[in-house]
Amino acid sequence: MTLLRQLLPSATAVDHIGSTSIPGMPAKDCIDAMVQVASVEHVDCGALLEAGFRERPEEWNRREALGPATHPKRVFAPPPGGRSVNIHIREVGSPTARYALLFRDFLRADASSRVTWGRFKVRLAETATDIYSYGQIKSTAQPLLMALAETWAQETSWSA
């Protein structure tokens, strides 16, 4: 994470997110890091590109829908042959940044939900025909998990 702070000095926060950030969660061998910045549109990513990171061009890696709104995002894949780290750049305090942190913290705290979600992911990985299908199916199930996470957040006074 120190390297990300060096490559993106305008970052206001750098967090380990996703399945590898949750002890006991089945995960592919790739770390997801979230970098929060003041403006996704204006962040200077030149140092990331010079270090060999590759910006993902797909629309779902440029904009995220959460509820009726969409939010800007940029995703960078690791350099070829480099350590497997995907970098997700989101705006500080955005609903999608909060969502990523809530997802992580809820599954760290709730063993039953963590086990259930982990089993779902494993079964989905066994049956999905490609990564796009995997993501589409997983994204339709996430609102169920996140409803539980929101209840947990209220009950525990969690905040991002």
What residue ranges define each of the domains in the chain, with the CATH number in brackets? Answer: 2-156 (3.30.460.10)
β-partners of residue 33 are 16, 87
Residue 3 confidence (pLDDT): 86
Residue 60 confidence (pLDDT): 87
Residue 67 confidence (pLDDT): 84
Q: Rounded to the nearest 5°, which phi and psi values hold at 75? A: -125, 135
Residue 137 confidence (pLDDT): 93
Residue 120 confidence (pLDDT): 96
User: Residue for token digits 């390297």?
Assistant: 3
Q: Tens-digit pLDDT profile for the chain (160 aa)?
A: 788 999 999 999 999 999 999 999 999 889 999 999 999 999 999 999 999 999 999 998 999 988 889 999 999 999 998 889 999 999 999 999 999 999 999 999 999 999 999 999 999 999 999 988 998 899 899 999 999 999 999 999 999 8
Residue 19 confidence (pLDDT): 95
Q: Rounded to the nearest 5°, which phi and psi values hold at 72? A: -70, 150
Residue 54 confidence (pLDDT): 96
CA distance 52 to 157: 40
What tokens does 88 get? 């997700």
CA distance 18 to 152: 18
Residue 38 confidence (pLDDT): 97
What tokens does 124 get? 């989905």
